[in-house]
Chain A
Amino acid sequence: MNRPAANKTVYQFGYRRSADQDAAKPARRPVVIVGAGPVGLTAAIDLAKRGIPAVILDDADRIGEGSRAICFSKRSLEIMDRLGLGDRLVEKGVVWQLGKVFLGEHQVYSFDLLPETGHRMPAFINLQQYYLEGYLVERAVELPLIDLRWRNRVTAVGKHDGFVRLTIETPEGQYELDTDWCLACDGARSKVRDCLGLKFEGHTFEERFLIADVKMSAEYPTERWFWFDPPFHSGQSALLHRQPDNVWRIDLQLGPDADPEEEKKPERVLPRLERMLGERKFELEWVSVYRFNCARLKKFLHGRVIFVGDSAHQVSPFGARGANSGIQDAENLVWKLALVLNGEAPESLLESYDLERGQAADENIGHSTRSTDFIAPRTKQERVLRNAVLQLAPHAAFARRMVNSGRLSVASEYDSPLTTPDREDFGGSARLGLPVPDAPLEDSGGKRFLLQTLTEDFQLLYVKDGARPNVPEGLRMTAIGEDLIDREGIFTQRFDATPGAAYLLRPDHHLCARMRSYNGNRIRDALARAKGLAK
């Protein structure tokens, strides 16, 4: 008989005493990160790559309580690739890009998340969150600038003039630690947020869902399958999605009145899964019953305390917009914080983190709310309308496009004061405010993807037209047509490139300025603006 496995610990870490616990007065650090989840670890590794040391505090000493986030987007993978984990994640993960939506037994809609080639990273991989966290921890411990402290629980946050004082509880008692900047990466139930008395704004959905990760050998394709009103789970919705190690994510809608404790019991879970999976043998890996919020903090920046990831905003799981947006938050913040700490940019640059990632949070909450409203209509008439869309879907294309089982995470486009508006027209898929699209290129060593050649700093892509221009000091220039060859013409097409054109990329690879013909003064101005130095 199938029995739920005890929630397995995949990685176990040890508490170690830090010299800071014996300090006569609190030690002072430039950055302390609260929470060693995907977001906190991403921030710490990215900071270390920029030469900034960070302490990470985490109240646990293990990873492995269920799969939790499983879908990692192309944008997250590109960020992870820059941090040195891209190949490892793609190798372990299940690569996918197709989704199918069924009404009853019949397919009504399908989508392809990456219909073009010429990208290093796939549209999505599925991977249990504990693998990502495990890999990030392994990467973090290789970096001497990262000081990872397990079983260090923050119990108080004091805001002072010019620093933050954290009170930390350990197995050996309490200590205090001061930091210039505190990054609250401590998740949806953020202790730091509670300590500052801050509240989310938004709403909770009443609907309850069952998540079950089951281990089985099955021949289903690696696509995201979503059912409305399936024969095995009448009147509700269901999701099936493959993870590595023959683990499958199953998500079943239970309705608003489901009792979360009862629904977690094997005698309730197993018959539900047997109706779905038939005679197939399976083993339960993880079960959880959840409800969710679509909500955010009004401001992510609270003096020297900065909220990043789920501590700042929360969404439903249907668009894979939780962990993916948290990783993008971290990347957006870190280069700015590094410039501020190095004295190269004013503190006000951090306001753009609040603005840009606030826009992203609003967009994610909007998508997530609309998906949830479609999946779990709140009134009888809303359900009538939703069902009308599903009934029309087999007959009319417009209705298929309205079917919403989750709109999956893509990179956010920033409408930002750091961007220099275009003066000339540009086509192609490269857009101001978005990360630049990838493209297959060649250098002296052979084939290279554009994104593999990018660094951690501001950089200029220049389309060769005669001699190389003299770029401002410290700005790295790559000449397309000299350093990198666009043999397939895909770069030219995606960037709408013409000889002499120049593209300025931020350290997070978002495009912040472009021009048809290189102009040193315009590049200098754009660079100043992107660093928050513009008057």
Chain B
Amino acid sequence: MTVLKTENGFANPDAAYEALVEAHRRASEAESAALNARLVLILSNHIGDLAVLKEAISLARKAG
């Protein structure tokens, strides 16, 4: 029933993480929150699968 992929998907995961860090560097807390919100929406739509989205939400909740 699990549809969310949790194994590594990037050829270079460190570069992916770096891209995210770069995006937030020197941003204020409010700017970061807004940026994250836009990112979440863009990526959610790219995935386009409500079941995956819901599993991702539940994993994010569980991990926090």
B41 touches A387 (CB 8 A): no
Report the Cα distance A391→B33, complex, angstroms: 13
B33 touches A396 (CB 8 A): no
Report the Cα distance A412→B34, complex, angstroms: 37
A387 touches B34 (CB 8 A): yes
Residues of B within 8 Å of A277, CB to CB, are none
Residues of B within 8 Å of A385, CB to CB, are 37, 40-41
Q: Taking the complex as formed, is A398 at the interface, i.e. its CB lies under 8 A from any CB of chain B?
A: yes
Report the Cα distance A385→B34, complex, angstroms: 7
A384 touches B45 (CB 8 A): no
Report the Cα distance A398→B44, complex, angstroms: 10
Residues of B within 8 Å of A402, CB to CB, are 41
Q: Taking the complex as formed, is B54 at the interface, i.e. its CB lies under 8 A from any CB of chain A?
A: no
Q: Taking the complex as formed, is A388 at the interface, i.e. its CB lies under 8 A from any CB of chain B?
A: yes
Report the Cα distance A117→B36, complex, angstroms: 43
Residues of B within 8 Å of A396, CB to CB, are 42, 45
Q: Taking the complex as formed, is B24 at the interface, i.e. its CB lies under 8 A from any CB of chain A?
A: no
A387 in complex: contacting residue of B37, B40, B42, B45, CB < 8 Å: B37
B33 touches A392 (CB 8 A): no
- Chain B, interface size category, equals under 10
Given A381-B33, A384-B33, A391:B38 Cβ within 8 A: yes
B34 touches A392 (CB 8 A): no
| Chain B nearest CB, measured from A235 CB (Å) | 15
Q: Taking the complex as formed, is A389 at the interface, i.e. its CB lies under 8 A from any CB of chain B?
A: yes
Please provide the chain A residues from 333 to 391 with a CB less than 8 Å away from any CB of chain B in the complex. 381, 384-385, 387-389, 391
Secondary structure dominating the interface of B: helix
Please provide the chain B residues from 16 to 49 with a CB less than 8 Å away from any CB of chain A in the complex. 33-34, 37-38, 40-42, 45
With an 8 Å Cβ cutoff, the count of chain A residues facing the other chain is 12
User: Which residue of A has the minimal Cβ distance to B45?
Assistant: A398
Residues of B within 8 Å of A399, CB to CB, are 41, 45
A384 touches B41 (CB 8 A): no
Most chain A beta-carbon neighbours within 10 Å: one of B33, B37, B40: B37
User: Which residue of B has the minimal Cβ distance to A385?
Assistant: B37
Residues of A within 8 Å of B41, CB to CB, are 385, 388-389, 392, 398-399, 402
Report the Cα distance A323→B45, complex, angstroms: 34
Residues of B within 8 Å of A388, CB to CB, are 34, 37-38, 40-41
Report the Cα distance A387→B37, complex, angstroms: 9
User: Which residue of A has the minimal Cβ distance to B35?
Assistant: A388
Report the Cα distance A392→B42, complex, angstroms: 9
A384 touches B34 (CB 8 A): yes
Report the Cα distance A480→B14, complex, angstroms: 67
Residues of B within 8 Å of A384, CB to CB, are 33-34, 37
Report the Cα distance A51→B34, complex, angstroms: 62
Report the Cα distance A402→B40, complex, angstroms: 13
Report the Cα distance A387→B33, complex, angstroms: 11
Report the Cα distance A208→B56, complex, angstroms: 34
Residues of A within 8 Å of B37, CB to CB, are 381, 384-385, 387-388
Residues of B within 8 Å of A398, CB to CB, are 41, 45
Residues of A within 8 Å of B38, CB to CB, are 388, 391-392
Report the Cα distance A387→B35, complex, angstroms: 11
Report the Cα distance A506→B41, complex, angstroms: 43
Residues of A within 8 Å of B45, CB to CB, are 396, 398-399
Residues of B within 8 Å of A387, CB to CB, are 34, 37
Report the Cα distance A384→B45, complex, angstroms: 17
| Chain B nearest CB, measured from A404 CB (Å) | 13
| Chain A nearest CB, measured from B58 CB (Å) | 18
Please provide the chain A residues from 398 to 439 with a CB less than 8 Å away from any CB of chain B in the complex. 398-399, 402
| Chain A nearest CB, measured from B1 CB (Å) | 25
| Chain B nearest CB, measured from A423 CB (Å) | 31
| Chain A nearest CB, measured from B21 CB (Å) | 20
Q: Report B's interface with A, CB cutoff 8 A.
A: 33-34, 37-38, 40-42, 45
What are the nearest 3 A-B pairs in CB distance?
Answer: A388-B37, A398-B45, A388-B38
Extra contacts, 4 of them, besides A385-B41, A388-B38, A396-B42 (Cβ < 8 A), are: A385-B40, A392-B41, A396-B45, A398-B41
19 interchain pairs, CB-CB under 8 A: A381-B33, A381-B37, A384-B33, A384-B34, A384-B37, A385-B37, A385-B40, A385-B41, A387-B34, A387-B37, A388-B38, A388-B40, A388-B41, A391-B38, A392-B42, A396-B45, A398-B41, A398-B45, A399-B45
